[in-house]
Structure 1
Amino acid sequence: MNKDTMCPIEYGLDVFGGKCKSRIICVLSFKDNMRYNEIKKYLGNITDAVLASMLKELIFDDMVSRKQYNEIPPKVEYSLTNRGKTVIPILQNICVWSRKQTKNNLSKKLPPCINCPL
Structure 2
Amino acid sequence: MYQHKMEEDIRCPLEYGLEVFGGKWKSRIICVLAEKGTLRYSALRKEMSNITDAVLASTLKELIADDIVHRKSFDEIPPRVEYCLTEKGNSVVPILQSICIWSGAYHKEDNENTMTQCKKCDYKQGKGGIFK
TM-score in terms of structure 2 length: 0.80
Letter in 1 for 2:116: I
Describe the SS at the equivalent of 2:35: coil
| Contact 1:28 1:80 (C-alpha < 8 Å) held by counterparts | yes
1:33 is matched with: 38
TM-score in terms of structure 1 length: 0.88
- Structure 2 alignment gaps of length 5 or more: 1-6, 123-132
Counterpart pick for 2:110 among 68, 92, 107: 107
Deviations 1:25-78 (A, max 9, x none): 000112331001111111100000100000000000000000000011100000
Shift of 1:109: 6.3
Q: Which runs of 4+ in 1 moved over 3 A?
A: 107-110
Percent of residue pairs identical? 55
Q: Kindly tell me the number of residue pairs found equivalent between the two proteins.
A: 114
- Structure 1 alignment gaps of length 5 or more: none
State the distance in 2 between where 1:99 and 1:114 align. Answer: 16
State the distance in 2 between where 1:91 and 1:109 align. Answer: 22
State the distance in 2 between where 1:72 and 1:108 align. Answer: 40
Letter in 1 for 2:110: S
